[in-house]
Structure 1
Amino acid sequence: MASSPVPGSVRGQSRTQLLSPQTEIQSLLKAGIKLFRDNEDLRALAAFKKAFLLSSRLPEPPHTQATCLFNLGAAYIATGKPKKGLKCTRKAKKMGAAVEKDGDFSFNIAAAYDNLREYAKAAEFYGKAVHEYEAGETPNAADALVKLAYCLASTGDSASAAGSFRLAGWAYREAQQPEDAAMAMREAANYFLRSPKYHPEDVLEALQVCSQLCMGITNLELLGKLHNHLGLHYAELKHFGQAEMHFAEALKLCSGENFTLRKGAVLLQNLGAIYNARGEPQQALKYHSQAADSYGALGERASQAQCLYNLASAHSQLGNVHRAQLYYQQALKAFVEAGDSYGEAQGCEGLGTAHLFMGHPDQATQYYKQALALFEKSKEAPDVPRERILEKLADIANYREAVPGRSSHTGGIADSGADLEEQRTEDNYMLAVGRPDLF
């Protein structure tokens, strides 16, 4: 939330108000700050509002009033009233409100623009806050860098967002906040990967630093989440050894209080997918089977479909064509029930390849055409599956022309094994990429 660091901006006012003779205002400010720290934002707002009303009646210079107005602005931002908060904060600055940290004004103005979804303006002021915080205020600068990064990401500048997250990670590390540092580095890797022209070494550096920081984290739930995310990112880079290591570490944490069936299912699915990708299908089978059973128990049909597809792919790699056909059929049925047209297309393609390998070109053609139609309808389908299926349909047509009168059920096409291998290399595993938040 954009307003989460605001209490830090408000916190410095208690020292100023200790010098004030107006005991009631001082008491209200202290109470408001405590309520803010306890996440009682609405009650804090009421306290600051009362303090401001009292201060506006004072005959002396407006310093006290400016301080109350600054805190009131912070409270408005925190309670979802950024326009009022922005107005109060700007007015407080003009009136000469004193704050303990120079970057607080810029941070609060940025937070207001952030809540208004004016991300370019918010980024400008978060950047100012980063430069205004002094050397001894590293955690505050790191908070501003994180906020800056998310605003940059919202403007579509993934590369700059990644750089800001990386700087935040180093700052948190310097401030000896390993949890925040690890999360910032994980986000740096994530946004480097989203950048159109990322450098693999930047991603790997962020992932390696995050991995090192994990050794100092005692929050097991967070640690499991980080290991899962690290595994996903290493898998994206096709560094399957590191991906396997992190998924396995996360799975070890799925015990006792940290265990949920869903967490275990996600990790089992990911480990199985990694073994598929590494060409170790025998190892993958048990993970896919357990993951499919777990998702079935949870009633998550779409996720179960992905695991059944993975199971079919593993059997394909082992040459168990009939078993592969069975699981592709089950996956297709589950994808249809879940309303996943892209998954349905993949299931049809898998069945087409299985039938082709068994020497059933008519059935293969039927499934390939069905897959092609589904891919054409799917907005998320890239061009590669379409091109691949069209090539396979052309191969079947060419074979029939070369061998006229060939029965559909009496033997295979000579290069069908190559077709099956091509499918494995193009799309042979389905990670739980879409659900990292579930862990």
Structure 2
Amino acid sequence: MALEESSVLEAELARQSDPGRPEASGGQKRKQRKAPRDPPSERRLVEEAQEDPLRRQAEIEGLTAAGHQALVRGHKKEALSSFRKAFALSSETPRHGTQRVCAFNLGAAYVEAGRPEKGLALLLKAQPEEEGEAAGECLGDLFFNIGVAHEGLGDFGQALEAFRKAQGHYCAVQTESEAGTRMRMGDCYLGMGDPWRASQCFLEAGRSYAGAGRLELAATALSEATRLMLRSQEHEDGEVVKVLNECRELCEQIPDRALLGKLYNDIGLSFSELKIFSLAAESFAKALSFCKMEDGEEDRPTDEDAAAAAILQNLGATHNALGSFSTAVGFHQRAASLHSGLGNRRAQGQCFGNLAYALSQMGDHEAAVENYLHALQAFKDSGDLRGQWQSCEGLAGLRFHLGDPEKAVASYKEALMLISKCQDAPETAAQERIVNKLAEALQSKLSVSSRVLQGSGILTSRPARHFPMSQTFAASSLHRKKETFPPAACHASLPDNGATGCRPWRRRLMRWPHGAMGHFNGGEMWLLRPLA
């Protein structure tokens, strides 16, 4: 019995010591599953590489190449894994240059992955201890990435210092890299609230790119430069027009249709701010021609409809400014239809407001009232208080013009109530304007009531008197409104032509393809800028 137990125990110990050994049971052998092999760890790689320096160097080069390929494919986690293993191997090599290169690659990958703090620590380790050690290394790229890391941490001053160092290393050999560095410096100045210096950086970058034959990058940089020049309000209009013309000349040589659509849309926005509406309309028309829409299918929602809706909306607003209302109506309707398909109620409300103003100027006041009501409902659906009170003001003006002071009074009161809820951006001037209009509407209402009481109780018809507009739409006196980035706005006013008593409807033009949908004011045309 003891021998049997001993044999069993020995068999069990043998099975535990050799898991791969088959176990007999009932004359049959059981197959054992092999445990999956774990991928080599960083420690194991180091131990294996210590045995052979050549193998270690080959491993580092292979991992570095794999990391770069992963970054190109957009696989940031995979890239970080490869660079970490290469950095661990480099710690065992006596070659300091290899260690710095691996630290640089890993640090740059961390910055690319959105972890600038960790990346910065590694990038600082990659700096050569002595100037002589830098021979053969691209210090421009090192300082550029250090600058990007500081920028990501919000340290714009230190980022600028690093970019300047990178620029010093680039200027002698790499014009394109120098231009790219200037653009990042522009971003830093913009983060510091200095659009003038930012515009200069983008302007220099654009001209450097143009000199290097990189037309797409040159046009993009010049377009951004004009936007910032307008924002800073420290440049003469002639200077801005000169840069815009440079950008237009570059666009004629660019084959990328998608980029051209964006560039021409941005050029049109800048011309709008300069009150050059004819060139703005021309630019928007060119932008629309680069949209991928099939003939007769503009109203069917597609992937390109966001861009098309923005341009159509801009075209409509620009033709309103030019007084081409019959042309503008078609653009407003198409833009509203596209926004409806996209589910963008706020932008759709703006299109209805633009359409209402155009119709009122054409004398179709009933249709204008209907579109103001559509705009009001769209703004209620999207929770836009400012759009709501502007719709009410437009409705009140039309109703007063149509001889219904009672409804005009109700709409003005509703507009004042909605303005009082706009605590974030007080509308003192608009409030005073509406109060004055309300007072006149009340006076007219009392006058009508008095005539009814004095007569037989039947209100006789009388010609509708148009309501005097305090601020009307025009292309003649445009000035930019100061407000926070990214939106930039401009106002316009035109002497009353007596066509209607409603407030003119101006809407914010849209940046490509999605911008912060802007409000519109009775005398404002808003430009939509792209979000960062």
TM-score by length of 2: 0.72
Structure 1 unpaired stretches of 5+: 1-18
Q: Which aligned pairs between 1:183-222 and structure 2 lie closer than 5 A?
A: 183-222=220-259
Structure 2 partner of 1:29: 64
AA matched with 1:78:
E
In the alignment, the residues of structure 1 paired with residue 512 and residue 412 of structure 2 have an alpha-carbon distance, to the nearest angstrom, of 29
In the alignment, the residues of structure 1 paired with residue 314 and residue 194 of structure 2 have an alpha-carbon distance, to the nearest angstrom, of 30
CA shift in 2, pair 1:384/1:218, >3 Å: farther
In the alignment, the residues of structure 1 paired with residue 460 and residue 253 of structure 2 have an alpha-carbon distance, to the nearest angstrom, of 61
CA RMSD of aligned residues (A): 2.9
In the alignment, the residues of structure 1 paired with residue 347 and residue 88 of structure 2 have an alpha-carbon distance, to the nearest angstrom, of 56
Contact 2:369-2:398 at 8 Å conserved across structures: yes
CA shift in 2, pair 1:208/1:193, >3 Å: same
Q: Which of residues 68, 74, 82 is equivalent to 2:108? A: 74
Moved more, 159-168 or 404-413: 404-413
Contact 1:356-1:412 at 8 Å conserved across structures: no
Moved more, 289-298 or 321-330: 289-298
Matched, 1:388 2:425: no
CA shift in 2, pair 1:108/1:166, >3 Å: same
Q: Percent identity?
A: 36
In the alignment, the residues of structure 2 paired with residue 88 and residue 296 of structure 1 have an alpha-carbon distance, to the nearest angstrom, of 50
Structure 2 partner of 1:46: 81
SS in 2 for 1:312: helix
SS in 2 for 1:117: coil
Structure 1 partner of 2:211: 174
Structure 2 partner of 1:132: 169
CA shift in 2, pair 1:377/1:284, >3 Å: same
CA shift in 2, pair 1:423/1:282, >3 Å: same
Contact 1:253-1:259 at 8 Å conserved across structures: no
In the alignment, the residues of structure 2 paired with residue 314 and residue 213 of structure 1 have an alpha-carbon distance, to the nearest angstrom, of 35
Matched, 1:90 2:167: no
- Structure with the higher fraction of residues in helix conformation: 1
SS in 1 for 2:174: helix
In the alignment, the residues of structure 2 paired with residue 248 and residue 296 of structure 1 have an alpha-carbon distance, to the nearest angstrom, of 22
AA matched with 1:47:
S
In the alignment, the residues of structure 2 paired with residue 361 and residue 304 of structure 1 have an alpha-carbon distance, to the nearest angstrom, of 29
Count of residues in Structure 1 that have an aligned counterpart in Structure 2: 419
Moved more, 344-353 or 234-243: 234-243
Structure 2 partner of 1:16: none
Give the deviation of 1:93 after TM superposition.
1.1
Matched, 1:112 2:112: no
In the alignment, the residues of structure 2 paired with residue 366 and residue 201 of structure 1 have an alpha-carbon distance, to the nearest angstrom, of 47
In the alignment, the residues of structure 2 paired with residue 129 and residue 346 of structure 1 have an alpha-carbon distance, to the nearest angstrom, of 51
Q: Which aligned pairs between 1:322-337 and structure 2 lie closer than 5 A?
A: 322-337=366-381
In the alignment, the residues of structure 1 paired with residue 329 and residue 472 of structure 2 have an alpha-carbon distance, to the nearest angstrom, of 20
AA matched with 1:84:
K
AA matched with 2:58:
T
AA matched with 1:217:
I
In the alignment, the residues of structure 2 paired with residue 306 and residue 409 of structure 1 have an alpha-carbon distance, to the nearest angstrom, of 37
Q: Which aligned pairs between 1:365-376 and structure 2 lie closer than 5 A?
A: 365-376=409-420
Post-superposition CA distance 1:244-290 (Å, at most 9, x none):
01111111122358972333222222111111111111111111122
CA shift in 2, pair 1:422/1:410, >3 Å: farther
Contact 2:307-2:514 at 8 Å conserved across structures: no
CA shift in 2, pair 1:21/1:333, >3 Å: closer
TM-score by length of 1: 0.86
Structure 1 partner of 2:394: 350
In the alignment, the residues of structure 2 paired with residue 422 and residue 82 of structure 1 have an alpha-carbon distance, to the nearest angstrom, of 50
Give the deviation of 1:358 after TM superposition.
1.3
CA shift in 2, pair 1:149/1:261, >3 Å: same
Moved more, 336-345 or 286-295: 286-295
In the alignment, the residues of structure 1 paired with residue 282 and residue 157 of structure 2 have an alpha-carbon distance, to the nearest angstrom, of 39
In the alignment, the residues of structure 1 paired with residue 425 and residue 240 of structure 2 have an alpha-carbon distance, to the nearest angstrom, of 25
Q: Which of residues 55, 80, 103 is equivalent to 2:90? A: 55
In the alignment, the residues of structure 1 paired with residue 472 and residue 411 of structure 2 have an alpha-carbon distance, to the nearest angstrom, of 17
SS in 1 for 2:469: helix
In the alignment, the residues of structure 2 paired with residue 423 and residue 354 of structure 1 have an alpha-carbon distance, to the nearest angstrom, of 15
Structure 2 partner of 1:270: 314
Q: Which entry has the higher C-alpha Rg, 1 or 2?
A: 2
Post-superposition CA distance 1:283-305 (Å, at most 9, x none):
11111122222222333221211
AA matched with 1:101:
C
Contact 2:209-2:215 at 8 Å conserved across structures: yes
Q: Which aligned pairs between 1:301-320 and structure 2 lie closer than 5 A?
A: 301-320=345-364
Post-superposition CA distance 1:32-51 (Å, at most 9, x none):
33444444433333333222
AA matched with 1:250:
A
Structure 2 partner of 1:433: 510
